[in-house]
């Protein structure tokens, strides 16, 4: 006798097929950033465009709409937080969003951004924004078309793009939570500058052999809980993490023999993303309960492991002996307190991914403002370098010497990721709130870190955040886990607790 599938079972089968197609495309995207020979760029763009088209066709199948409608009218979704209700709710959201986009547009965005990323790599290397400008123009045209197709009610076009990364968030909401964080950040930066204290950062510019950096980075990522039996670490022009599905999560970083923090903290950061991916319910792959909540929540995990843990005094009291073994030439005569001060130096700098904890959010707010203007059409691509430099000087008091250290430093716009940047600062705020909540339940986290015990925090995150998948939207998840709505105050408390003693404030 043939088994008869219920509408819910059939829906899950369709959703998993769509996810498998997306996973295949993600592998090709990872390969493009790591191992693809330059001559293969156009063919790879065609491959990705083709897969995007097939995936879009499968994701917008009328049968999915029929199944969703049947389930929505069945009375089976009484508990809004149940697995079935969550999977149906998020499948409806994805379906309604996808059906607003024509296949032609989906394929073209995939194709153009694939080529655009290759153009960005070359332009960044040559410090030549005009070489990338035509690609940015094409990408902006496509993303504006996407925003118009999705719609944004009485809001602004940027809302439609932001919603793809932080579901339910509005531009005005983000602006409202950023304002007090910016004020608090500026005050702290000013106080640190006026303190006159400057750590010896030349420690970090000594020779750190790349092979040893890789070994030490993998050692540290393993300590905090990333499973290399289900992942790997490679090199890319811009660090990232790709979770392809159960048992396969890829990290990337980039190395500089005379700049220790870049690769090490980049590896910890991406390992934080990877721990989230590995903490998802593997049996729920393809459904909402097997997916991450939002990019802001994703970023909270990476920033927590990178900064709240990886830049803590307790962490280095545990790993510094190993660091000395890996880098005897650079660190044999360096006291751990001097090293700790150096990795927590605070001063304006050009590169976002290498920025200190305090100034980092200002880098995000700058990009948030600029890309809103780009999507609205108030800022033209040709004017981006000048606008970037003007705003950067206003925010940081220094001016980028070239485009590579200015408007070409990030891969995001070449990949069409407009609306992505604000999730980084939201992630820092979420991280502050989650870390405080974990400390209330687990006790003295620094004592655990100093003893090399990172498992309690990882398991707390697995239990409270990772395994929930998309059960809750980000704003509700924060309240469920911490008992409070999102606030900048926990992050600000963390920054003062760390940096006030370091700079004698």
Instruction: Name the residues annotated as catalytic.
Output: 270
Token pair of 350 as six digits: 């050009």
Q: Are 343 and 351 in contact (CB under 8 A)?
A: no
The full DSSP string for 60-103 is: T-HHHHHHHHHHHTTT---STTSHHHHHHHHHHHHHHHHHTS-H
CA 311 to chain centre: 18
Of 224, 216, 222, 233, whose CA–CA distance to 321 is shortest? 216
Q: What distances in angstroms separate CA 370 from CA 144, 395, 418, 457, one per listed residue?
A: 15, 13, 10, 36
DSSP state of 304: I
CA 482 to chain centre: 21
| Helices first, then strands: H and E counts in the chain | 21, 3
Token pair of 407 as six digits: 């408007």
Distance between CA atoms of residues 357 and 60, nearest Å: 42
Torsion of CA 431, 436, 439, 445, to 10 degrees: 60
Distance between CA atoms of residues 300 and 272, nearest Å: 9
CA 327 to chain centre: 30
Q: Please report the sign of the dihedral spanned by the C-alpha atoms of residue 83, residue 85, residue 91, residue 97.
A: negative
Q: What distances in angstroms separate CA 6 from CA 88, 165, 290, one per listed residue?
A: 14, 31, 20
Distance between CA atoms of residues 238 and 254, nearest Å: 7
Distance between CA atoms of residues 255 and 216, nearest Å: 12
Convert 188-202 into a string of H (helix), E (strand) and C (coil): HHHHHHHHCCCCCHH
DSSP state of 281: -
């Amino acid at each position: 006798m043939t088994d008869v599938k219920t509408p819910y079972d059939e829906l899950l089968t369709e959703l998993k097929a769509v996810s498998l197609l997306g996973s295949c495309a993600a592998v090709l995207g990872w390969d493009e950033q790591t191992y693809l020979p330059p001559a293969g760029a156009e063919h790879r763009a065609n491959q990705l465009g083709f897969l995007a088209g097939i995936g879009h066709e499968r994701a917008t199948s009328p049968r999915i709409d029929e199944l969703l409608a049947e389930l929505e009218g069945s009375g089976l979704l009484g508990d809004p937080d149940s697995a079935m209700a969550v999977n149906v709710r998020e499948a409806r959201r994805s379906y309604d969003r996808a059906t607003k986009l024509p296949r032609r547009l989906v394929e073209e965005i995939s194709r153009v951004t694939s080529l655009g990323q290759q153009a960005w790599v070359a332009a960044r290397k040559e410090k030549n924004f005009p070489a990338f400008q035509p690609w940015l123009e094409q990408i902006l045209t496509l993303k504006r078309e996407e925003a118009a197709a999705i719609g944004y009610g009485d809001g602004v076009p940027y809302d439609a793009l932001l919603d793809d990364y932080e579901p339910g968030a509005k531009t005005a909401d983000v602006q409202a939570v950023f304002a007090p964080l910016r004020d608090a950040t500026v005050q702290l930066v000013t106080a640190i500058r006026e303190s006159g204290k400057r750590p010896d950062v030349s420690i970090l510019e000594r020779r750190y052999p790349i092979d040893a950096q890789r070994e030490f980075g993998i050692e540290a990522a393993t300590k905090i809980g990333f499973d290399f039996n289900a992942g790997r670490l490679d090199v890319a022009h811009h660090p990232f993490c790709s979770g392809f599905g159960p048992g396969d999560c890829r990290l990337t970083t980039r190395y500089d023999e005379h700049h220790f923090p870049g690769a090490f903290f980049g590896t910890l950061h991406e390992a934080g993303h990877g721990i989230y991916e590995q903490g998802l319910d593997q049996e729920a792959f393809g459904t909402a309960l097997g997916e991450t909540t939002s990019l802001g929540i994703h970023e909270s995990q990476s920033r927590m492991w990178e900064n709240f843990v990886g830049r803590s005094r307790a962490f280095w009291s545990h790993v510094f002996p190993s660091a000395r073994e890996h880098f005897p030439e650079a660190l044999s005569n360096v006291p751990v307190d001097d090293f700790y001060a150096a990795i927590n130096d605070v001063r304006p700098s050009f590169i976002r991914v290498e920025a200190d904890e305090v100034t980092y959010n200002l880098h995000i707010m700058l990009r948030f403002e600029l890309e809103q203007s780009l999507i609205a059409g108030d800022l033209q691509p040709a004017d981006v370098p000048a606008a970037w430099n003007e705003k950067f000087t206003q925010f940081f008091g220094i001016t980028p010497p070239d485009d590579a250290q200015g408007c070409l430093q990030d891969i995001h716009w070449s990949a069409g990721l407009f609306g992505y940047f604000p999730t980084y600062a939201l992630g820092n705020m979420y991280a502050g709130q989650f870390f405080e909540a974990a400390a209330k339940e687990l006790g003295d986290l620094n004592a655990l870190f100093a003893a090399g015990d990172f498992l309690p925090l990882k398991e707390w995150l697995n239990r409270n955040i990772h395994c929930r998948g998309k059960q809750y939207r980000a704003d509700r998840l924060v309240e469920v886990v911490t008992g409070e709505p999102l606030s900048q105050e926990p992050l600000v408390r963390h920054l003062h607790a760390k940096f006030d003693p370091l700079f004698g404030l």
